[in-house]
Structure 1
Amino acid sequence: MDLQVEQVEVWAAGIQDKPGGLAGVLATLRDMGADLQLIIARRSPDRPGEGVVFVTPLEGDREMEAAAMAGFNVTQKQHCVRVLGRNRRGIAAALCGELAEAGINLRGFSGAVIGPQFVAYIAVDSQAEADQATAILLAI
């Protein structure tokens, strides 16, 4: 299977759980030229009124400085592998199955299909697991 596999840095920030909470931090990144490929935002069920947003990529000093000013930090507890390829039925199950056979527990998984292509972001708990997952997925 012809897959593009690479590790990516994920940045996270707290946001207010109210109209415009997400829009404000995304506008800050946009204004600094960020061209985001993934945005995941959700409420924090254990902290009413708060949420969290994860984004990738941020490139260059200007984008990273803007992100820091907007409250973003590189995530230290999760490591992420991006997988791109031609979509086929069951691709997510196949990727997850290969990682499960290697004993890799997933911290998170996000995937989407656009036309004939799929993209998946696979989060794990350590750099060693990200390295192992990258090697496994490149060998598929």
Structure 2
Amino acid sequence: MSSNNLDTLYRQVIMDHYKNPRNKGSLEGDILTVDMNNPTCGDRIQLQMQVKDGVVEDAKFDGEGCSISMASASMMTQAIKGKKVDDALEMSSLFSKMMLGEDVDTDKLDLGDIQALQGVSKFPARIKCATLSWKAMEKGVKE
């Protein structure tokens, strides 16, 4: 697939997650809640996770922001549900490296739709948008 076709596909995946976010809403019961924002652009997110026995059983988010931050939150919540906390943190580490333009072994953990965000690394001002929900997840599971 040509680079141009791949870029178009990735843009479509990002816009699909932005227009049709997965896991948007709130959870009830015994949950972790993390509020974070990106003051440079106004993105804000509230991430809620249900973690039991070291596993992220459920995750939802609410917030507002650019297509990158909201699509990333949608993708991230999809990716971490059902994962061990350690695997979610490893995924977050891989994602951060990908955002910094580093080569990552995507075979190690299936990033799925998240790979569509790899082009963000070419736009340093947008990296914080893409990583906001991931930083919220890290903060939540480490508390």
TM more than 0.5: no
- Larger of the two Rg values belongs to structure: 1
TM normalised by structure 1 equals 0.27
TM normalised by structure 2 equals 0.27
Indicate the structure with greater strand content. Answer: 1
Indicate the structure with greater helix content. Answer: 2
